[in-house]
Amino acid sequence: MYYELSEEQKMFCETTKRFAQEKLAPMAAEIDEKGEFPKEAFKLLLEMGLLSLVWSEEYGGAGADHLTFCLATEEISKISGTLGCLVLYQSFPLSLLTAGGTEEQKARYIPKLASGEVIHAFSITEPHAGSDVSGIKTRATLEGDHYVLNGSKCFCTHAQAAGILTVFTTTDPAKGSKGLSAFIVEKDTPGFSISKIEQMMGLRGTSSCELVFEDCRVPRENLLGKEGDGFKLAMVTLDDARPGSAAMGVGIAQGALDYALRYAKERVQFGSPIAEFQGLQFMLAEMGTQVEAARQLTYRAATAVGKGEREGGKLSAMAKYFASDMAMKVTTDAVQVLGGYGYTKEYPLERMMRDAKATQIFEGTNQIQRIVVARSLLGEV
């Protein structure tokens, strides 16, 4: 199935593209250089309504479908992976609150998320629990009307700027993944602190942090779902988010390809633009084909997840690993097109290449995605 966008979606893409080029592109290099949360860009994204797309109109959002959300992520990621990540991660609580939130939790937090009053951070990774979430050691113990959290987390995206975090802990270590639980933790909760801001290779404006919980008392009503629902909620959230991660990969790769194409037509060697050399033409053709193939798979996955189709989880894992592997290859080839200039910070391609690498790692490494896909395929025969 080839995905032909509706006229409304095409107009949305054009509007978002102009906004990104005019307002965000001038900031992209500085955001990467500073390595700080991009407050000004956040405000601009918020004003454009790109951080509230997925939230229902009831809570102040646009009620957009999953494909439209991925289109926004793709367009912003063409300019900056950091900002594409911001669009993606602000939507994470949707699946969590839909699947495990009470009406009170939804009423309390969704309007604040949709309005941009608070930023969200998703905290699951630990020093010894990355792909293997059953290895989570952060412990939550019920004491009266509160759960007491103790432990640490790492690589928590947007934690420095976040007002609320969804934190995954174990409430029953003996049960492994079936003993995991998820909590909403407000940033000013006593016992919660940020111990370190990670110095990342790419996505440098995402303020990825190391977190510490020391007798952190979280109200009992901040438990999402029931005790033991944590693993299920994490998987639902990641399945829903992975088409957005794939869209990030597509956007970063398309941005790099666009730049390489312009450069190839302008750069003269041996008396001709290098775009006239057949070897380079073959490289550009392969890059363009890979981007389009990943785009179509991403749109298919986004539609399947948005409609709740049975194969949505498989398709989202396929799209995530295919698009992010593609992004790494295409950005690397784009650097090669520029030669020595591509390796300098004067041009944006080295930043795009660094940003692309992150998409192969976060939300489940691409090796894990292949396991998800293989098990799904084997279960179908």
Report, as residue numbers or ranges, the catalytic residues: 363
- Cα–chain center distance at 130: 16
Residues 6+ apart with CB under 8 A from 113: 52, 55, 90, 93, 120, 164
- How many other β-carbons are positioned within 10 Å of the β-carbon of residue 232? 17
Check: CB of residue 89 under 8 Å from CB of residue 208.
no
Torsion, CA 23, CA 77, CA 119, CA 100, rounded to 10? 150
Expressed in angstroms, the distance from the first to the final Cα of the chain is: 23
The SS3 call for residue 17 is helix
Question: In whole angstroms, what is the distance from residue 230 CA to residue 374 CA?
Answer: 24
Backbone angles phi, psi at 348, to 5 degrees: -80, -5
Query: Helices in 199-277 by DSSP H: which ranges?
Result: 230-266
Nearest to 64 by CA among 123, 100, 29, 114: 114
Give me the residue label for tokens 């409430």.
Answer: 171
- Beta bridge partners, 268, equal 273
Backbone angles phi, psi at 110, to 5 degrees: -60, -45
Residues 6+ apart with CB under 8 A from 266: 273
Helix axes 349-359 and 81-89, enclosed angle (nearest 10): 30
Which element (helix H / strand E) includes 79?
A: helix 66-79
- In the Cβ-directed half-sphere of 122, how many Cα atoms lie within 13 Å? 21
Backbone angles phi, psi at 87, to 5 degrees: -60, -45
